[in-house]
Structure 1
Amino acid sequence: MNVRRLIPAAALAGAVTLGATTLTACSGASAAGGNTDGKLAVTASFYPMQFLAERIGKEHVAVTTLTKPGVEPHDLEITPKQTGRLGESDVILYLKTLQPAVDKAVAQSGVKNVVDAGTLTALEAHAASGHDDHDHAAEGEEHDHDHGGAGKDPHVWLDPAKYAEIAKGVGAALGKADPAHAADYEKNTATLVTELGSLDTEFKDGLKTTASKTFITTHAAFGYLAERYGLDQEGISGIDPESEPSPARMKDLQGVAAKDKVTTVFFETLVGDKTANALAKDTGLKTDVLDPLEGITDKSQGADYFEVMRSNLKNLQKALGAK
C-alpha cells in the first residue's frame, strides 16, 4: 500500500477570513501527534465524518478535519492553498451539499478515494414544519431544506439508524484504501454499528410515550430524527439557524405551541439562543439545547457523538413529557 504522509497539523492550519470570523483547517484528535508515518491520511469535512473515521480507523488512521471546533459548518470557506493540501489525503470523507466550499475543494483535489456520505444512505426532503396542515405560504418565505441538493435534507447523522448505514460504507472505503488493515476496519465498524443500534433503541423506548409529539427548534436539522421516532419538528428559521424568522412565522409558532402543548423552544450551542429566547418570551415557554452535532466544543453537552445524542434524548424527554 502506498500511503502518503499527511501534512502536519501546524502546516495544514491556514487562516480563512469569513466576515469577522477567522477559520482554520485544524487537525482532529488522531492527528494531534503530528507523526503520521505508516498511517492512512484521512480528511473529514466536519465532526460527524471525523467521528466515524476515528472510531473505525483507530490506530491505523491520522484524521484531519476541515471544520474548526466552534465554527458553523455551513459557513466554512477554504483557501486555494488548503485545497492543494487536501490533495495530500489518502481518503476524503464529506457530505455533499452541506458545505459548498468543501464540495468545490474536493472536486479539485484529485484524490482517488473520496466518500460522499450522502450516497451511503437514502436522503429525504424535510420541511421546517412536520405538520401536514402547516401553511408555509403564510410565512412569506421558503422553509424546505435545500443545501444545493434538490431539496434533500443532509442531516442524516441525527438518525442513528441512517448513521449506521453510513458507518458501514465508511468502513468499507477505509478497507479498500488500506487492505492491510481491512479486517480491523470491519471489526471496528461492526462494533460501532452495534452501539448505534443500541442508541436507536434508547430513543425509541425513551420517546415512545410522551405528552406532546411536537418540538420547536431554531435550526430545522432534526427531520430524520423526528421521522424515525414519530415526532413533529417545527423549525423557527428553517435552513439558516442564524436567519431572522418572519413575524408571520413567529405568530404561527405561537399557535402551534398552544395547540400541541409545547413547553420548550430549543436552540443549538454553535449559534446561540437569541431567536429561541424571543419566541419563548412571547409564548411563556422555556428554552433548552437540542444539538445538531455539527461540531463539538467545550459548551457541548457531551464529549462525543454518543454523549451529545443522549443529552439530546434527555432534553427531548423532558420537553415532551415522556412517561
Structure 2
Amino acid sequence: MNVRRLIPSTALAGAVTLGLVTLSACAGTSDAADKGSDGKLDVVASFYPMQYLAEQIGGGHVAVDTLTKPGVEPHDLELKPKQIGALGEADVVLYLKGVQPAVDEAIAQAGVENTVDATTLTKLEEHGTEVGHDHGHAEEEGHDHGSEAGADPHVWLDPVKYAEVAKGVGSALEKADPAHAADYRKNTEALVKKLGALDTEFETGLRNTATKTFITTHSAFGYLAERYGLEQEGITGIDPESEPSPARIKELQDIAKKDKVSTVFFETLASDKTAKTLAGDTGLKTDVLDPLEGITDKSKGDDYIEVMQSNLAALKKALGAK
C-alpha cells in the first residue's frame, strides 16, 4: 500500500464534524491521567507540528515522544512494534488524521483514552494543484488531485488555523491533567499570541508583491496561499509522491511566463529533481519552501516560528515584495 495516500475525504469530513477533541474520560472527573514515573504527562505526537504544540503548551509538565524522528519524511513513516506498543501506554496522543495512514491505523487500535485528532479542531478544505485562482485550463483525467486526495490536512502552515488547533490541544491537556490546567492555559495563550504575531508578519510582508503566483513541488501551501491572497501552483497535488503529467509541466511553463514567476520551490525532506528540471527548462531560480513536517540540521530555523519566518523571507524574495 502506498502509505502516502491520504484517507478519503468522507472520513476526514466525518472527523471535522466531531467538533472539538474527543476525550472518552467522563467529563465530571477531576482525576488526572496516570503519569509516568517522572510525574510528567506522557504525550505521544505523530510528527513535528504536533510535537511543537505539545512542547510549547505542556512545558515542564509533559514528556513528549515523537513517532516521526528528524529527517524521516512523515508520509513514509512505518511504525515499529515497539512504537505501536508505546502508544497504548501514553497519557495523551496528538495526531493529524490523513497525513500518516500508518499512524492513523495504529492509533485506532491503541485505544488511548485521551486522543486528539487535530483535524477536528479547525475546518478543513479541499485543495488541488491550484489554489487561489483559475487559469481557465481544464483538468485532465488523473490531474485533479483535489478530488483524489480529499480534504487538505496541511493546516499547520496557516498560523491562524494552527492557533485554532493549539487552543484545542491546550484544552485536551487541561482535561487530561487538571492539576496543571492553569499553566496549560497560560502557555496556550502565549503560543496563540506568538502565532498571531507571525500571521501579522505574513500579512504585512506579502501585501504588496510584483506577482502573487508561486510554484512548489507538492501542494502543501494551499491554506497559506488562501490566507494571504497568493496563488499556489503545485507541480504535484496534495500527494507528494504523484508524478506530474507532461501536460501539467507545459501548463506550469505557461503560467510561469504569464504570471512572471521567478522561482520554483522545493522542500527539504523530498526529492528536488522535478523542481530543478522545471526550473532549468523555464530559466527560473530554485529555493526552499519548507512544509515543516520535520526539523533537521538542514532546516532554516530551529523551530516552527523560525522556519516559517524563513519561508516568509523566501516568498517575499520570490514574489518581489515591495
Q: TM-score range by the shorter chain?
A: 0.7 to 0.9
Q: Matched residues in 2 for 1:183 and 1:37: separation?
A: 20
Name the SS for the 1:144 alignment partner. Answer: helix
For each residue in 1:156-194, what CA deviation from the matched residue of structure 2 results, as whole angstroms up to 9, or x when unmatched?
Answer: 000000000000000010010000000000000000000
For each residue in 1:199-248, what CA deviation from the matched residue of structure 2 results, as whole angstroms up to 9, or x when unmatched?
Answer: 00000000000000000000100000000000000000112324331111
Gaps of 5+ in 2: 1-30
Residues 115-194 of structure 1: pairs in structure 2 closer than 5 A: 115-130=116-131, 131-135=133-137, 137-138=139-140, 140-144=142-146, 147=149, 151-194=150-193
Aligned CA distance change for structure 1 residues 224 and 145 (closer, same or farther; 3 Å): farther
Q: Matched residues in 2 for 1:246 and 1:60: separation?
A: 50
Kept in 2: contact 1:267–1:273 (CA 8 A): yes
Structure 2 counterpart of 1:26: none
Structure 1 counterpart of 2:7: none
Query: Cα offset for 1:81?
Result: 3.8
Q: What letter is aligned with 2:282?
A: T
Q: Matched residues in 1 for 2:214 and 2:197: separation?
A: 23
Q: Matched residues in 1 for 2:226 and 2:260: separation?
A: 19
Structure 2 counterpart of 1:202: 201
Q: What letter is aligned with 1:93?
A: L
Q: What letter is aligned with 2:230?
A: L
For each residue in 1:68-99, what CA deviation from the matched residue of structure 2 results, as whole angstroms up to 9, or x when unmatched?
Answer: 11111111122344222210000000011111
Q: Matched residues in 2 for 1:239 and 1:226: separation?
A: 14
Q: Matched residues in 1 for 2:302 and 2:86: separation?
A: 28
For each residue in 1:1-54, what CA deviation from the matched residue of structure 2 results, as whole angstroms up to 9, or x when unmatched?
Answer: 454455xxxxxxxxxxxxxxxxxxxxxxxxxxxxx5100000000000000000
Name the SS for the 2:270 alignment partner. Answer: coil
Q: What letter is aligned with 1:266?
A: F
Moved more, 161-170 or 80-89: 80-89
Name the SS for the 1:287 alignment partner. Answer: strand
Residues 269-288 of structure 1: pairs in structure 2 closer than 5 A: 269-288=268-287
Structure 1 counterpart of 2:110: 109
Kept in 2: contact 1:167–1:189 (CA 8 A): yes
> Given the two structures, how large is their TM-score scaled by the length of structure 1?
0.87
Name the SS for the 1:265 alignment partner. Answer: strand
Number of paired residues? 291
Residues 296-311 of structure 1: pairs in structure 2 closer than 5 A: 296-311=295-310
- Between the aligned residues of both structures, percent identity stands at 71
Aligned CA distance change for structure 1 residues 203 and 212 (closer, same or farther; 3 Å): same
Query: Cα offset for 1:134?
Result: 4.4
Query: Cα offset for 1:143?
Result: 1.9
Gaps of 5+ in 1: 7-35
Kept in 1: contact 2:32–2:178 (CA 8 A): no
> Given the two structures, how large is their TM-score scaled by the length of structure 2?
0.87
RMSD: 1.5
Kept in 1: contact 2:127–2:238 (CA 8 A): no
For each residue in 1:96-130, what CA deviation from the matched residue of structure 2 results, as whole angstroms up to 9, or x when unmatched?
Answer: 11111111111111111000001001111112112
Structure 2 counterpart of 1:314: 313
Name the SS for the 2:281 alignment partner. Answer: helix
Whether 2:97 is the aligned partner of 1:96: answer yes
Moved more, 178-187 or 125-134: 125-134
Kept in 2: contact 1:159–1:224 (CA 8 A): yes
Aligned CA distance change for structure 1 residues 179 and 140 (closer, same or farther; 3 Å): closer
For each residue in 1:243-286, what CA deviation from the matched residue of structure 2 results, as whole angstroms up to 9, or x when unmatched?
Answer: 33111111000000000000000000001321110000010000
Structure 1 moving runs of 4+ over 3 Å: 1-6
Kept in 2: contact 1:242–1:271 (CA 8 A): no
Structure 2 counterpart of 1:66: 67
Aligned CA distance change for structure 1 residues 230 and 220 (closer, same or farther; 3 Å): same
Aligned CA distance change for structure 1 residues 140 and 176 (closer, same or farther; 3 Å): closer
Moved more, 272-281 or 74-83: 74-83
Aligned CA distance change for structure 1 residues 134 and 85 (closer, same or farther; 3 Å): farther
Q: Matched residues in 2 for 1:184 and 1:137: separation?
A: 50
Kept in 2: contact 1:3–1:41 (CA 8 A): no
